[in-house]
Every structure is written in structure tokens, then in C-alpha cells.
């Protein structure tokens, strides 16, 4: 039967090249745009290197300290004290990692003094490398002993190693000068794509407790407020529930211990899925999120508008097949059978268009990736050396991507073919037979 | 008389009355295309109006300074610790000045300005203020303010020309008017005082709960501190002379000589500046052309992404309109083959037949555009048309984009042209196919 459809479609393409090219190009454009959106969100949501545990990763980036006397509130990260007293002692968690937010890039000095590079750096702790599955080319991650002692060690990406040292091997033990400090390199990792925003950096160093604490705001008035963000890894949904209870207890104890400020976590810890769509801390449900509403609206427009448009093309096609349908009805074919056949034939066209659309989407994502991802990101970050988004094979050729294409093609086919085919098949047999070319 | 005129001087294929009759005769086929045209017109307004405003503001309004001759040098220090009194003694500032002098000595460089505290156009140092006429507590407005350091060739480097006040660029840069005076742009002068020559008048600057007075020492040509803002209500203020209070967070703005390409200058000197242009602990980290600086500023603020989103959305709608037009007119191919055959049999050329079809499509596009625009007009009566990114807008501006009816008509003309072109392309594809069928074959096909 599939072979039959294929032959019929080939015949239709030969007979009416104009119709075929219009339909396939219209479908290809719609599917290409839809897939660009879908792949860009897939990259943010699916497990990709090194964020293989996204499903069980939770984030705590902010805390709100609400003044009890008036309506002033302070939204910020956590201080080192909060990290050590509240988060590092959590029981219902597999791993806890804290990092200091760094809005601007850091400067790395080239060894021969020939210049400086601005790079993306993360000031974190050894648990970071247990949450994210980095592939080490050489050496190992930051060690607990070095972290406790405050020793200046760094893990660098292979690309940065090649730029700075001219090679990514025999780097361990060498010195990297960054931000006026000399770091001993203890490991070299395969660089992640900058699209893996939670883990991407070119240099990973341990945060210095004293230095970080001195950067915190309102220290003394709000000793638990600072610039740290916390990432948590749980092993299951039950552990996550227990974790939330434990954090609620911490909040309750803090609020009971003083009456000047009230701590609110605003629904945190946030799952990875939720964090992709959450623009503001106040958005407690997915439907509140502007990002979700915009995405749904855009997907509807990208599928509906061309789909309805191409209804006209299908209607024209059906006009030329009215006599054929009439003859088949006289031989006993029911309307449902004919409708199914027309829709299935059209599905082949749609799949052809979908394949072209997918290839077009891949080309756009590979060749114009900086432009595409900047366009989809309302606040793109600084472009430091080597931070052009890397779109890897696992992002483009994942089975989920192909399933999504197939799903969108089915939806598109139904939108564009079902109504005109159904309307055309409603005509009485006699009228159909009397239609002349 | 009108009909006689039309029939004498306008080819019958383009006779509006005849075209309308043709459209009305096929109203059931054309109603879908008309609906699509109305929707596309409406959507194009909401998408292209802000895009046109942004494009106009960025490309058609002069910046007011010579950005195409400027480069920006980023300074850094090799160490974080300095000798005692390094700042207070003026050594720090002296090192920065020496770095600037090294660049000034280059044959490609005409002048150098030290932008202290990132106080340069499209930089973080452009601050927002609330100013008014001193003594009048009512009418305060938002403006941008830029500080500059005395004696750092600010006005010469950027190429900002004085208009009133009798002071030259050099005089303005040397700040020979005191720390309690300011230099304003023409537009700010008119906006505050109703006239351009406001030298000697007193401006009020609101700082928190305080209101300070500032004497206007000079008026300069309009400049746009941000490339994406249309209006240029700016004032310039000289920083205090206290060397010990100077910040190490400074950049250098280089004015290149006429004929020197900034991109070539950047590629020639980028590999060398770190090693050859330092002084004391200060080094020149990077150099970029000013157009790069402007583009990066717009990108980091998300403006470029918004603009590109609008353009992609517009292209998407217009492509779908084209496909819709093609499909509708293709549907009509069979029904009108006989009509075209008869016309050709009576001597009409292919061009005349095409003209008839295109004229019908253009009339349909016109009707759809008018309805869609009218619907959008109702929406914008309350919300207004796009104003772009204009912090210093007062509401009294008179340029064509600020006045409602000229804005509407101007953008309508642009949108109408785009839609007509797209519709014509959409019609020509099936129409060419239609008119190329021989009259004998087309007359064999009946409705």
C-alpha cells in the first residue's frame, strides 16, 4: 500500500510540478522554522554533554528577603554562610554545588606576555564535577583538600588550552594567570557547547570563601544574602519531595530566629525544565511564564498559518480529481476510505516537505547558529573567545528530533488536507461525474 | 465623463471599473484571498512598524559624532596591587595619559580621548537624569548626561561641533566654563527653553531629593548617545579636577585620520597593542572599531535579537501571503482559461492578459490592505504606534515618526509597496503559466 501511495505521488509530481513545488516549499519552510524552535528548546531541555542529569538537577539561584516593617524586599543570591549552614548540610540530596555568579568575563594572560584573553570562568567547588559529567582529557577535577585549603587550582577546557598553551596535552601542572592570580592547572576537560548554559565555562576554579563573602550585599544586616547560586542533584522524585520539606524547615527556622526579615524561596528549588521557561522568580506556574505562552503562540502560528494557506492548494488539487473520486464512489468506495487515501497521499507530500524542512533547519542551525541562537535569546551574553554556540550531532540527530518532525508533519497534514478533501468529497456522484476538465 | 476618460486613456485591462467587475464575478474564490490579505496586512503592521522605526532610527538619523572614524581601546592592569599613593599622587592618571600619548603618536591617529568611567557613546557611562528649567518645578524631563574629564580632547575626538557660546571644540574639551556649568545639545536647549541659544541660562538637575543648578555654557550639535534612540536630549558635564579621585576604569577613544579604515587599523594593531602600548601597570587589552562597539551594545541589550525576530516574522508572513496568492490564482487557472483564450483570439497580447490579472490582484491587495490598516488603526488609537527605544522622548517631537498621522501614512506606504510586490510575484507565477497556453487549447476548456 505504501508503494502504491508512493507511485501515485510520483505521478502527481510529474503531472503537476507547480502544485508540488508550491506545496513542498510551503511545507518545508513551515517545518524548518518549527524545527529551529523545537531544536533550540530541545537543546535546552534534553540531556546533552555534560548536563546528562538534567532530569534530576535542581537550581536555587535567588532568595527574597522581605522586610517585615515595610514593603521593601531584596532579591539576591546566597552568601557563603548560607551555603555552608543551609545547603552543604542537606541530607535529602545526592550532591550540592555552589558557584559564584560572575557577570563579566575574566582575563587570562597568555604565557609569553603577548596579550590577554577574555574568557568565561566559573568559581565553584569540587561537587560541580560530580553533578556534571565532564570528560577529562587529562588530570582530574578540583580536589576537596585544595578547596578546603584555598589552593589556587583550575580546570580548563581543551580549546582554551590549545589557544593559551598551543596544545591540550601535558597541560596539568602548568600555570594559568587569571585575574591577577596564578592557578595551577589540575585538569583539562572537553569543552561543552555554550548552549549548555548551566555548566559552560572555559576555566573552572574554586571560589575563595573570604573573597566571596566580602562581595556579598548588606553583609551584617542580611548575613545570608550574597552572590552564590546553588545546584542540587537528587536521585528520584521522592528524594526531591523530602528535599523540599527539609528546605521549608530551614526557611521556617530562619524566619523564627529573627523578625526583621522574612525569607522566601519563591517555589525553589527549580527543576531544570521549569528553569528553562521561567523568566522571573514570581512565575510560580508554567502558564504564568511569558516564555511558554510565546512558544505555544509561535508554534501555532508557524503551523497554522502555512497550513491554512496550503488548504487552497489542496482544494485546487481536489478539483482536478473530482471526476476520479466520482468514479470510485460509483464502484462502492466510501467517503471515509477516499478521505483516508487523500490524506495519506498528502502525507507523503508533507513528509517530503518535512524532510527538506529538517535539512533546512539543520543548515540554519549549523551555518547561522550564532545569529539564530542570539535571535532566540532575548539577552545574549558576552561573546568571548570561542564562545560561539557549538551545535553537535547529538543535538541535531537525536531520535526525539525525528519524532518531532514526524509529529509536526502529521499535524500540518491534517490542517492543510483534511478540510478541503472532506469538502470536495461531499459533492454528489452525478455532479462529480459531470465535471469536465 | 469619468468613464469616458477612463476608457480613452486607460487600457481597458487596467480600467478600475472593469477590474472590479471581474473581482466581483469571482467573489467566492477571492473572499479567502481577501481575508488572508486583511490578516497579513494587520500582522505586518504589528511586526513591521517597530522594525521600520528601529531601522530608521539606526540608519537614517545621524549619530552626531564621527563613529566611522573612531576606535575604542580597552585598558587593563597587569597587577591588582599598586604602590602606596598610586592613585592619590596622580601616578595612576599619569600612566593612563602616557598610554594615550603612545596612541596619539601613531601616524594613523588624529586624536585620543580618555573616557573615564566608561563615559563614551553607547557605553555604560551614559547616565540618565531628570532636568528642567531652574525655578520651574513642573516641567522636568528625562535626558542623558555624559561626564568628561577636562583636557582629554573629548569634543575634538568625537567630532562634536559647538553652535552657540563662542567656545571652540578645544575650549569645550578643556572645560573652560567651570564645574558648575554644562554643555547642552540643540534639541535639549529647544526642549527646555524653547530656543537654541540658551548660553547663560540656568538648568535644574534633579538628583534624588536635591535639585542642583547648572549654567549652560555652550550649545553643541545634536548627538545620539545611544545608536538606537532617535532623540538627542543630552548634556555634558566636566568632572571635578581632583586627580586623586580619578578612576582606573577608563577606555581610550581614538580618532583616526581621514582615509584610515578602522577595520584595517584594528587588524594591524591588535596583535601589538598589549606589548607596545603599556605604561606602568596599565596595558591596552583590546582595540575594536566603534561600529563593533555599537553593534555589541545593541546585541547585549537584546535589540538586535528583537529586530531580527521582527524581520523573520515579517518574511514568514509575506512568504505565506505569496503562497496563498499563488494557490488562489492557480485555482482560477482552469476557470479563466477560456476567458484568456477569447482575449488572445481577439488580438490581446500575453502582456495585456498578464496586466489584467496583475491589476485584479493589486486591487484585491489594495482593498485588503485598507481594511487591515483600518483595523490596526483602531487598535493604535489607544496604544499608539511604535515609538522605538527613546528614553528622552518628551512627546513634543515633530519628526515624521513622532507625529501620528505622518507616521501612519509613511509606514502604510512602505507596507503597501511590500505587499503589492509580494502579491504581484504571487500572481505572476500562475498567470505566466495561464497565458502561455495557446488560445486553441484554452478555448477547448469550458467552465
Q: Which band of pLDDT confidence, cut at 50, 70 and 90, is reported for residue B8?
A: low
For the beta carbon of residue B5, count every other beta carbon within 10 angstroms. 9
Chain A neighbors of B445, CB-CB under 8 A? 437
**Which of the residue ranges B34-38, B160-164, B267-271 would you say has the lowest mean pLDDT?**
B34-38
A70 in reach of chain B (CB within 8 A): no
Would you say residue A24 has pLDDT above 60?
yes
Q: How many domains does chain A have?
A: 2
B396 in reach of chain A (CB within 8 A): no
Residues A381 and A237 in one domain: no
Kindly identify which residue of chain B lies nearest to residue A110, measuring between CA atoms. B274
B414-431: average pLDDT: 88
Q: At which residue does the C-alpha cell 553583609 appear? A: A219
Would you say residue B1 has pLDDT above 70?
no
Which phi and psi (to 5°) does residue B8 adopt? -80, -45
B283 in reach of chain A (CB within 8 A): yes
Look at residue A284 in the predicted model and tell me its pLDDT.
59
CA–CA separation, B369 and B365 (whole Å): 6
Would you say residue A240 has pLDDT above 80?
yes
Residues A389 and A359 in one domain: yes
- DSSP annotation of B90 reads T
**Which of the residue ranges A19-33, A222-236, B114-128 would you say has the lowest mean pLDDT?**
A19-33
A309–B274 CB contact, under 8 Å: no
CA distance A244 to chain B (A): 35
Look at residue A251 in the predicted model and tell me its pLDDT.
94
Which phi and psi (to 5°) does residue B5 adopt? -60, -45
Chain A neighbors of B299, CB-CB under 8 A? 374, 380, 383
A315 in reach of chain B (CB within 8 A): yes
Look at residue A29 in the predicted model and tell me its pLDDT.
87
Residues A175 and A247 in one domain: yes
Residues A322 and A353 in one domain: yes
Chain A neighbors of B317, CB-CB under 8 A? 305
Check residues B287 and A376 and name the one with the higher pLDDT.
Answer: B287
Check residues B208 and B312 and name the one with the higher pLDDT.
Answer: B312
B305–A383 CB contact, under 8 Å: no
Kindly identify which residue of chain A lies nearest to residue B30, measuring between CA atoms. A312
Residues in chain A: 437
Task: Name the residue facing B299 among A113, A306, A380 (closest C-beta).
Answer: A380
β-pair type (B162-164, B210-220): antiparallel
A79-103: average pLDDT: 91
Task: Name the residue facing B304 among A115, A374, A382 (closest C-beta).
Answer: A374
Q: Which band of pLDDT confidence, cut at 50, 70 and 90, is reported for residue A321?
A: confident
Would you say residue A273 has pLDDT above 50?
yes
Residues A374 and A419 in one domain: yes
| A284 domain residue, yes or no | no
A310–B274 CB contact, under 8 Å: no
CA–CA separation, A201 and A199 (whole Å): 7
A383–B285 CB contact, under 8 Å: no
Half-sphere exposure of B388 (CA within 13 A, CB side): 22
Look at residue B115 in the predicted model and tell me its pLDDT.
92
- What cell numbers appear for A47 in the block? 540531556
CA distance B2 to chain A (A): 38
Could you report the per-residue pLDDT of A363-420, keeping only the tens digit for each?
888 888 888 887 777 666 666 655 667 777 777 777 877 888 788 878 887 877 887 7
CA–CA separation, B120 and B61 (whole Å): 19
Look at residue B225 in the predicted model and tell me its pLDDT.
92
Check residues B398 and B252 and name the one with the higher pLDDT.
Answer: B252
Could you report the per-residue pLDDT of A342-362, keeping only the tens digit for each?
888 888 888 888 888 888 888
Would you say residue B332 has pLDDT above 90?
no
- What cell numbers appear for B92 in the block? 595612576
Which phi and psi (to 5°) does residue B236 adopt? -120, 140
Structural contact between residues B298 and B121, judged by C-beta atoms closer than 8 angstroms: no
Look at residue A414 in the predicted model and tell me its pLDDT.
80
List the alpha helices (DSSP H) in A186-271. Answer: 209-215, 237-257
Residues A223 and A331 in one domain: no
| A43 domain residue, yes or no | yes
Whole-number Cα distances in Å, B84 to A322, B152, B186, B283: 94, 26, 45, 20
Structural contact between residues B103 and B109, judged by C-beta atoms closer than 8 angstroms: yes
Q: Which band of pLDDT confidence, cut at 50, 70 and 90, is reported for residue A105?
A: confident
As a 3-state breakdown, chain A gives helix, strand, coil percent values, each rounded to 5, of 50, 15, 30
Could you report the per-residue pLDDT of B288-326, keeping only the tens digit for each?
999 999 998 988 888 888 888 888 888 888 888 888 888
Which phi and psi (to 5°) does residue A384 adopt? -90, 175
A106-128: average pLDDT: 89
Q: At which residue does the C-alpha cell 561573546 appear? A: A383
Chain B neighbors of A179, CB-CB under 8 A? 80
B29 in reach of chain A (CB within 8 A): no
Q: Which band of pLDDT confidence, cut at 50, 70 and 90, is reported for residue B107?
A: very high
Whole-number Cα distances in Å, A38 to A4, A352, A395, B271: 32, 19, 11, 41
Residues A39 and A68 in one domain: no
**Which of the residue ranges A313-322, B8-17, B103-112, B368-377 would you say has the lowest mean pLDDT?**
B8-17
Residues A219 and A150 in one domain: yes
Look at residue B92 in the predicted model and tell me its pLDDT.
86
Q: Which band of pLDDT confidence, cut at 50, 70 and 90, is reported for residue A287?
A: low
Could you report the per-residue pLDDT of B152-199, keeping only the tens digit for each?
999 999 999 999 888 899 999 988 777 789 999 999 999 899 899 999
Q: Which of A14-18, A225-229, A297-301, B17-21 is most confident? A: A225-229
- What cell numbers appear for B73 in the block? 581601546
B271 in reach of chain A (CB within 8 A): yes
pTM over 0.90: no
Look at residue B447 in the predicted model and tell me its pLDDT.
43
Residues A204 and A297 in one domain: no
Task: Name the residue facing A310 among B285, B317, B323 (closest C-beta).
Answer: B323
Look at residue A219 in the predicted model and tell me its pLDDT.
55
Residues A112 and A243 in one domain: yes
| A381 domain residue, yes or no | yes
Q: Which domain holds residue A254?
A: 62-267
Structural contact between residues B191 and B177, judged by C-beta atoms closer than 8 angstroms: no
Rounded CA Rg of chain B: 31
* Helix axes A2-15 and A335-367, enclosed angle (nearest 10): 70
Would you say residue B57 has pLDDT above 80?
yes
A138-150: average pLDDT: 92
SS3 for B184-212 is EEHHHHHHHHCCCCCCCCEEEEEECCEEE
Whole-number Cα distances in Å, A107 to A178, A202, A244, A372, A381: 6, 11, 38, 28, 16
A428 in reach of chain B (CB within 8 A): no
Look at residue B5 in the predicted model and tell me its pLDDT.
55
Residues A67 and A202 in one domain: yes
Look at residue B371 in the predicted model and tell me its pLDDT.
94
B247 in reach of chain A (CB within 8 A): no
- pLDDT, mean over chain A: 84
CA–CA separation, B250 and B247 (whole Å): 7
Q: Which band of pLDDT confidence, cut at 50, 70 and 90, is reported for residue B245?
A: low
Structural contact between residues B390 and B324, judged by C-beta atoms closer than 8 angstroms: no
Q: At which residue does the C-alpha cell 528601529 appear? A: B54
Kindly list the domain boundaries of chain B, sorted by start residue: 2-61+302-444, 67-300
Percentage of chain B exceeding pLDDT 70: 93
Look at residue B252 in the predicted model and tell me its pLDDT.
95
Would you say residue A106 has pLDDT above 60?
yes
CA–CA separation, B118 and B149 (whole Å): 11
A437 in reach of chain B (CB within 8 A): yes
**Complex ipTM:** 0.79
| A57 domain residue, yes or no | no
B79–A180 CB contact, under 8 Å: yes
Residues A230 and A347 in one domain: no
- pLDDT, mean over chain B: 85
Sheet of B250-256, strands arranged across: B109-116, B250-256, B70-77, B282-289
Look at residue A430 in the predicted model and tell me its pLDDT.
65
Would you say residue A158 has pLDDT above 80?
yes
Percentage of chain A exceeding pLDDT 70: 90
Q: Which band of pLDDT confidence, cut at 50, 70 and 90, is reported for residue A437?
A: very low
Look at residue A246 in the predicted model and tell me its pLDDT.
95
Amino acid at each position: 500500500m505504501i508503494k502504491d501511495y508512493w507511485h501515485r505521488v510520483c505521478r502527481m509530481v510529474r503531472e503537476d510540478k507547480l502544485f508540488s513545488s508550491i506545496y513542498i516549499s510551503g511545507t518545508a519552510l513551515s517545518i524548518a522554522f518549527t524545527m529551529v524552535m523545537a531544536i533550540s528548546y530541545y537543546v535546552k531541555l534534553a540531556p546533552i554533554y555534560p548536563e546528562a542529569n538534567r532530569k534530576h538537577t535542581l537550581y536555587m539561584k535567588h532568595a527574597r528577603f522581605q522586610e517585615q516593617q515595610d514593603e521593601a524586599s531584596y532579591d539576591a543570591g546566597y552568601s557563603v554562610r548560607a551555603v555552608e549552614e543551609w545547603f552543604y548540610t542537606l541530607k535529602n540530596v545526592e550532591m550540592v554545588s555552589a558557584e559564584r555568579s560572575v557577570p563579566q568575563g575574566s582575563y587570562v594572560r597568555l604565557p609569553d606576555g603577548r596579550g590577554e584573553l577574555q574568557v568565561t570562568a566559573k568559581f565553584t567547588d569540587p561537587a560541580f564535577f560530580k553533578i556534571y559529567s565532564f570528560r577529562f582529557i587529562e588530570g582530574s577535577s578540583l580536589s576537596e583538600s585544595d578547596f578546603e585549603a584555598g589552593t589556587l587550582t583550575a580546570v580548563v577546557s581543551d580549546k582554551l588550552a590549545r589557544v593559551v598553551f598551543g596544545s591540550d596535552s601535558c597541560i596539568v601542572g602548568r600555570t594559568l594567570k587569571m585575574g591577577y592570580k596564578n592557578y595551577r592547572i589540575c585538569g583539562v576537560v572537553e569543552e561543552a557547547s555554550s548552549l549548555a548554559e548551566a555548566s559552560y565555562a572555559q576555566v573552572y576554579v574554586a571560589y575563595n570563601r573570604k573573597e566571596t563573602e566580602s562581595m556579598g550585599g548588606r553583609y551584617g544586616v542580611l548575613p545570608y544574602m550574597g552572590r552564590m547560586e546553588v545546584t542540587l542533584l537528587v536521585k528520584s522524585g521522592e528524594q526531591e519531595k523530602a528535599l523540599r520539606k527539609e528546605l521549608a524547615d530551614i526557611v521556617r527556622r530562619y524566619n523564627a530566629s529573627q523578625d526583621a526579615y522574612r525569607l522566601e524561596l519563591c517555589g525553589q528549588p527549580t527543576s531544570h525544565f521549569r528553569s528553562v521557561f521561567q523568566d522571573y522568580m514570581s512565575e510560580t506556574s508554567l502558564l504564568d511564564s511569558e516564555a511558554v505562552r510565546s512558544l505555544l503562540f509561535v508554534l501555532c502560528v508557524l503551523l497554522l498559518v502555512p497550513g491554512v494557506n496550503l488548504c487552497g492548494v489542496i482544494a485546487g488539487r481536489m478539483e482536478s480529481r473530482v471526476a476520479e473520486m466520482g468514479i470510485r464512489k460509483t464502484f462502492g468506495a466510501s467517503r471515509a476510505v477516499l478521505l483516508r487515501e487523500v490524506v495519506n497521499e498528502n502525507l507523503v507530500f508533507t513528509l517530503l516537505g518535512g524532510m527538506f524542512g529538517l535539512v533546512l533547519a539543520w543548515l540554519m542551525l549549523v551555518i547561522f547558529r550564532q545569529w539564530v541562537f542570539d535571535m532566540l535569546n532575548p539577552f545574549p551574553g558576552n561573546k568571548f573567545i570561542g564562545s560561539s554556540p557549538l551545535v553537535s550531532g547529538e543535538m541535531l540527530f537525536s531520535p526525539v528530533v525525528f519524532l518531532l518532525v514526524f509529529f509536526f508533519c502529521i499535524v500540518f497534514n491534517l490542517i492543510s488536507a483534511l478540510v478541503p478533501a472532506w469538502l470536495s468529497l461531499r459533492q454528489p456522484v452525478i455532479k462529480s461525474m459531470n465535471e469536465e476538465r | 465623463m469619468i468613464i469616458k476618460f477612463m476608457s480613452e486613456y486607460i487600457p481597458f485591462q487596467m480600467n478600475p471599473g472593469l477590474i472590479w467587475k471581474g473581482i466581483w464575478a469571482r467573489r467566492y474564490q477571492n473572499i479567502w484571498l481577501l481575508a488572508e490579505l486583511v490578516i497579513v496586512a494587520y500582522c505586518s503592521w504589528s511586526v513591521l512598524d517597530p522594525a521600520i522605526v528601529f531601522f530608521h532610527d539606526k540608519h537614517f538619523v545621524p549619530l552626531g559624532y564621527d563613529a566611522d572614524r573612531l576606535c575604542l581601546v580597552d585598558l587593563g592592569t597587569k597587577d591588582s596591587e599598586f604602590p602606596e599613593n598610586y592613585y592619590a599622587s596622580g601616578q595612576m592618571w599619569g600612566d593612563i595619559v602616557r598610554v594615550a600619548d603612545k596612541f596619539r603618536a601613531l601616524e594613523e591617529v588624529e586624536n585620543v580621548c580618555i573616557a573615564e568611567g566608561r563615559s563614551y557613546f553607547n557605553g555604560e557611562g551614559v547616565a540618565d537624569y531628570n532636568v528642567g528649567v531652574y525655578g520651574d518645578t513642573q516641567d522636568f524631563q528625562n535626558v542623558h548626561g555624559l561626564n568628561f574629564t577636562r583636557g582629554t580632547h573629548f569634543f575634538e575626538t568625537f567630532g562634536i561641533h559647538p553652535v552657540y557660546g563662542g567656545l571652540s571644540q578645544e575650549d569645550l574639551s578643556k572645560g573652560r566654563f567651570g564645574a558648575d556649568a554644562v554643555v547642552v545639545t540643540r534639541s535639549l536647549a529647544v526642549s527646555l527653553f524653547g530656543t537654541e541659544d540658551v548660553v547663560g541660562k540656568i538648568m535644574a538637575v534633579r538628583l534624588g531629593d536635591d535639585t542642583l543648578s547648572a549654567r549652560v555654557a555652550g550649545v553643541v550639535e545634536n548627538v545620539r548617545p545611544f545608536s538606537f534612540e532617535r532623540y538627542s536630549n543630552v548634556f555634558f558635564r566636566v568632572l571635578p579636577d581632583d586627580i586623586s579621585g580619578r578612576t582606573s576604569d577608563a577606555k581610550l577613544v581614538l580618532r583616526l585620520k581621514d582615509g584610515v579604515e578602522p577595520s584595517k587599523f584594528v587588524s594591524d594593531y591588535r596583535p601589538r597593542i598589549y606589548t607596545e602600548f603599556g605604561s606602568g601597570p596599565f596595558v591596552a587589552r583590546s582595540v575594536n572599531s566603534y561600529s563593533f562597539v555599537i553593534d555589541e551594545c545593541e546585541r547585549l541589550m537584546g535589540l538586535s535579537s528583537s529586530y531580527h525576530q521582527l524581520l523573520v516574522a515579517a518574511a514568514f508572513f509575506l512568504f505565506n501571503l505569496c503562497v496563498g496568492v499563488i494557490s488562489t490564482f492557480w485555482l482560477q487557472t482552469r476557470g479563466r482559461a477560456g476567458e484568456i483564450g477569447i482575449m488572445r483570439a481577439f488580438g490581446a497580447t500575453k502582456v495585456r492578459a498578464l496586466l489584467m490579472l496583475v491589476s485584479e490582484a493589486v486591487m484585491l491587495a489594495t482593498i485588503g490592505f485598507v481594511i487591515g490598516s483600518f483595523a490596526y488603526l483602531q487598535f493604535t488609537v489607544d496604544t499608539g504606534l511604535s515609538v522605538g527605544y527613546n528614553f528622552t522622548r518628551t512627546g513634543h517631537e515633530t519628526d515624521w515618526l513622532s507625529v501620528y498621522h505622518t507616521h501612519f501614512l509613511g509606514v502604510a506606504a512602505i507596507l503597501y509597496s511590500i505587499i503589492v510586490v509580494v502579491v504581484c510575484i504571487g500572481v505572476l507565477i500562475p498567470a505566466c503559466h495561464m497565458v502561455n497556453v495557446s488560445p486553441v487549447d484554452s478555448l477547448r476548456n469550458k467552465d
